[in-house]
Structure 1
């Protein structure tokens, strides 16, 4: 099973952070993938990814609208950077592209 971790954040740290997290999670689960999403919103970091979560991940999705805190945690991993609006509006298409990439690499 493919294992995805993601970190979502937006400049205002409110609605889009959480909308993106939900969309990414739902799109990954629709593929039958495991997914855990950390949010970095206006109230701080929630659902923080553990070292074990990251070590087990096949792919890391980071929203790129603002700096993600702790990006060094993902060194050596396949990292996909997307805009928070793409995460909200096009999460299924993003997962399709990730799937195609992982299938080529396998």
Structure 2
């Protein structure tokens, strides 16, 4: 089973952080994939990815509008960087690209 992890963060740390997390989760689950999304918003880090989550992930999605805290933990993993607005509005397209990459 495909396992996707993601970290979402936006400059204001409010709505888009959580909207992006929800959109990515829904798009991945619609494909039957396992997914876990860490948010780095105004409340700090929530739903923090642990070492097992990172180790077992087939793909990592990171938003790129602001720096992601502790990004070094993803060293050696395949990372897709997306704008927070694309994660909110185009999550399905992001999953299509990931699926294409994983099946190559």
Structure 1 gap ranges (5+)? none
CA–CA distance in structure 2, aligned partners of residues 67 and 44 of structure 1? 13
Partner of 1:37: 37
TM superposition shift of 1:97:
0.4
Aligned residues: 104
Question: What does the per-residue CA deviation read over 1:41-75, in whole Å, with 9 as the maximum and x for residues that have no partner?
Answer: 01100000000000000000000000000000000
Question: For 1:6-25, what aligned pairs fall within 5 Å after superposition?
Answer: 6-25=6-25
Partner of 1:91: 91
Task: Tell me which stretches of 4 or more aligned residues in structure 1 moved more than 6 Å.
Answer: none
- Computed over aligned residues only, the root mean square deviation of the Cα atoms, in angstroms, reads 0.3
In the alignment, is residue 5 of structure 1 matched against residue 33 of structure 2?
no
Structure 2 gap ranges (5+)? none
CA–CA distance in structure 2, aligned partners of residues 49 and 98 of structure 1? 20
CA–CA distance in structure 2, aligned partners of residues 77 and 20 of structure 1? 21
